[in-house]
Amino acid sequence: MDTIIDIIGATVIAGLVMLGIANLNVYSSQMRFKSDSDLKLQMDAKTISEILGNDLRKIGYAYTGTPIITANEKEIKFYADIDSNNVMDIISFSLSDSNSVISENPNERILYRAVNADTSKGPSLGMVNLKFTYKDGNGNITSDPIMIKYIKAEIWVQSSSKVNENGTDKFISTYWELTINPRNI
């Protein structure tokens, strides 16, 4: 009789240990996926920021007039010799609607970068919103293309798939902001 009780006790303890190991494995996998998603999110936001920053710094390069054509909250269009070939280009940035992206995240959009009439649309990189703010030399908000000296771009990025965080599945998000002072305006 004592042997049977010992065997049942050992089986229960072994079961509890195995259950604990399985639970730890599931938790570890979820944390690894969340950590990877956070890292990818930050890398995507940085990539978008570098694309915008590179072109916005070139506003007015090799142009003698007022280089900014359109300056509103959702779009910017400007003149610049973007590829240094002595031919003036018109560059614009705008955001697509959410129907343009096939993704688990219904909020994802594509950043359109148009050089002259050639629109290149790249991956969405999880972008869900883009907002431009324009400031004069004193830091006051302006929409007058002649007065603009600083351009602030705000970028919101979300994960393409849901991540389990604290027991709920949701899209994780990040925010990135850059302010550019183009030399040629």
Q: What digits encode the pLDDT tens for the residues 71-103?
A: 999 999 999 999 889 999 999 999 888 777 778
Using DSSP bridges, classify how beta strands 127-135 and 163-165 pair: parallel, antiparallel or unpaired: unpaired
Number of H helices, E strands in the chain: 1, 10
State yes or no: pLDDT of 165 exceeds 80. no
| Most confident residue range from 4-8, 75-79, 116-120 | 75-79
pTM over 0.75: yes
Length in residues, the chain: 185
d(CA 127, CA 96): 10
State yes or no: pLDDT of 104 exceeds 80. yes
d(CA 172, CA 104): 13
Place of tokens 């649309």: 121
Kindly report, residue by residue over 14-71, the tens digit of the pLDDT.
999 999 998 888 888 777 877 888 888 999 999 999 999 999 999 999 999 999 999 9
Share of the chain above pLDDT 70, in %: 98
For residue 158, the model assigns a pLDDT of 93
Q: Look up residue 79 and give its two tokens.
A: 């003149």
